[in-house]
């Protein structure tokens, strides 16, 4: 499963992705990573240990700052499964553009 995160499809502002919170059930571990556009940069997040029933919505912190990014969630063991009911990605626009270099 891949969820794209961004504020606007017409603006390429630099966004700071701070954390992700999920309402998730399943078995095993859910491996996650944030990936920048064209997979230039990645950041692995701490995995969620899932259970079939839970009242906890775990949060994972991240420090990822790029124009566009997506969240990859997966399991890597046969028999593991997950169901995501809700994803909240906490993010804030921090810059309008990358700094330009002025030759003088």
Mean pLDDT by 10 residues, the chain (104 residues): 52 87 91 92 92 85 90 93 92 79 62
What is the per-residue pLDDT for 103?
A: 62
CA distance 76 to 80: 8
Place of tokens 């095993």: 28
Backbone angles phi, psi at 90, to 5 degrees: -90, 120
Half-sphere exposure of 66 (CA within 13 A, CB side): 19
Q: What is the value of pTM for the model shown? A: 0.74
* Cβ within 8 Å of residue 64, ≥6 positions away: 16, 17, 34, 36, 41, 43
Q: Which pLDDT value is given to residue 4? A: 52
Domain ranges for the chain: 2-6+19-95
């Amino acid at each position: 499963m891949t969820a794209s995160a961004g504020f606007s499809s017409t603006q390429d502002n630099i966004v700071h992705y701070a954390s992700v919170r999920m309402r998730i059930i399943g078995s095993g571990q859910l491996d996650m990573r944030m990936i920048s556009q064209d997979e230039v940069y990645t950041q692995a997040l701490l995995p969620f240990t899932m259970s079939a029933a839970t009242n906890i919505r775990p949060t994972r912190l991240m420090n990822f700052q790029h124009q566009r990014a997506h969240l990859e969630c997966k399991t890597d063991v046969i028999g593991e499964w997950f169901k995501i009911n809700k994803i909240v990605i906490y993010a804030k626009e921090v810059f309008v553009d990358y700094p330009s270099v002025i030759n003088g």
